[in-house]
Structure 1
Amino acid sequence: MKSHVILALVALGCATAAAAQDAPVAPAVPVAPAASVEPAAAVPAASDIPAGKGKIIFFRKGGLMGAAISCAVHEKGEKLTSLPPGKFAVVYAEPGIHEYSVKSEATDTLRLEIEPGETYYAKCNIQMGIMAGRPNLSPSDKAGFDAMSAKLKPVEVKAQ
């Protein structure tokens, strides 16, 4: 019986099982992840999409490549958000065709047809340019976002 208590205590992460051998065993309590970890849980769920709108998640991989270049996402000339490396932003949009753009020495545009209640993904990459890096906005998918989401942090979006 004592060996079962010791194994249970070790499994629960007690520092010294020997000191707690005679203590009663409490039921296991789930441990929350560390506060510094912000996985995709920071992304509103599909059920959080406002009625009649679609959701676009813009994201950018972390790293040093193009770190000095901002990936500022615009629509109709208005800046929605800026994506530094390792960040993501959630934008809600009315149904219909939307054109999102990023630019430095050249402009890149991503055209999306937004459906109500749907989630879309767009990835920003920085490519080599003649004088400066060029941001590129391309469609992605949930798997592409999920592969990076544990390392991504949210950024603010202009009021929608």
Structure 2
Amino acid sequence: MKSHVILTLVAIGCATSAVAQDAPEIAAAGAAMSDIPEGKGKIIFFRKGGLMGAAISCAVHEKEEKLTSLPPGKFAVVYAEPGIHEYSVKSEATDTLRLEIEPGETYYSKCSISMGIMAGRPNLSPSDKSTFDAMSAKLKPVEIKTE
């Protein structure tokens, strides 16, 4: 079963994600994360800690390219060109989050693990700054792929 979540904003055009690691920016989860490269948007993918689904990876992909894996209690910052992007996670099923990115904007996506038939199923859902901020003291950054 494939599920889709759509967060629609203003259409600007399609482009691929540009992923970058910025150590000072993600040095601590509670750090101010307001620096966004000119002409790009920022997506913060996060996953709360705990034992539920700990053995299941929340590997975030775009167009079959792995951007990051989120173990429990971690977050990753991804920068993307403006336009429509589809981020996916999968195990025995695929879940897709469709975002329309605007330059200078920050988006939040929470990964959670639900019960599956043979294994847990990772799910991506839109979130918000207040949810991320409430968890941020317990979250640690993960290294992400750089181009």
TM-score range, shorter chain: 0.7 to 0.9
Aligned to 2:126: 139
What are the residue-to-residue correspondences of 1:63-142 with 2, within 5 Å?
63-142=50-129
Distance in 2 (alpha carbons) for counterparts of 1:139 and 1:127: 16
Aligned to 2:137: 150
**Residues paired across the two proteins, number:** 121
Report if aligned partners of 2:29, 2:141 keep a CA contact under 8 Å in 1: no
Higher strand share: 2
1:70 counterpart SS class: coil
Distance in 2 (alpha carbons) for counterparts of 1:108 and 1:147: 25
Change (3 A) 1:130 1:82: same
Higher alpha-carbon Rg: 1
Q: Which amino acid aligns with 2:66?
A: K
Which TM-score applies when normalising by structure 1? 0.73
Q: More relative contact order in 1 or in 2 (CA 8 Å, sep 6+)?
A: 2
Q: Which amino acid aligns with 2:38?
A: A
Deviations 1:125-157 (A, max 9, x none): 000000000000000000010010000000011
Once the 2 structures are TM-superposed, how far is the Cα of residue 39 of structure 1 from its aligned partner?
A: 3.8
Which TM-score applies when normalising by structure 2? 0.80
Name stretches of at least 5 consecutive residues in structure 1 with no aligned partner: 1-36
Q: What is the percent sequence identity of the aligned residues?
A: 86
Aligned to 2:42: 55
Higher helix share: 1
